[in-house]
Structures are given as C-alpha cells and as structure tokens.
Structure 1
C-alpha cells in the first residue's frame, strides 16, 4: 500500500550507517535500522530493539 506515509522510494543508491545496539534496551529511536555481520536490528520503540538473524542462502 502506498499511502504516502509508509512508503520509501529510492532512485539510485542508498547507504545506511551501521551502529548496532549492545543489548535490547540500548538507547535508540523508533524506526532506526542497523546491522552487524550476524543480525539486522530494528528499534521498535524508544530504547527497544528487536533483531533478526542473517544467513547465507
């Protein structure tokens, strides 16, 4: 759904810096996304992080 609020359009290259949190309650702003060699991290609320494992395929 493209409602103009929850959409991202990129024409070209996008680069996102990586500064993974130390733990699930590290300082963070909701909507922040970062990674390391094992996980992608998403800040879902102030100082609340969730992560998903990365794997080769």
Structure 2
C-alpha cells in the first residue's frame, strides 16, 4: 500500500482513479459532483470556520 502524506494532490496525477471513474461514468453507474476541495478550518473569534 502506498503511503500518502497530508497535503494537496492533483487528481490528474491519479490515473488509476481517473480511468475507473471514467469507465463507471460511461456505464451510467455514477455521477460526478464536487463537494469541495479542502476541509481546512481556522479559529476565528473562538469559533472554527472554513477557510
């Protein structure tokens, strides 16, 4: 298993995942949506908020 460090990664570099998603999309088995691109928070006046 490949060890993955914390950080941002370009999905274009994950060719195995892209091929899998493209095939499932062509088969009509999945829809592709964007939920967000990070889950980073910062403390703002004693409350955690999205960056």
Give the TM bin, normalised by the shorter chain.
under 0.3
Higher-RCO chain (CA-CA 8 Å, sequence separation at least 6): 1
Rg bigger for which structure? 2
* Structure with greater strand percent: 1
If the length of structure 2 is used for normalisation, what is the TM-score? 0.23
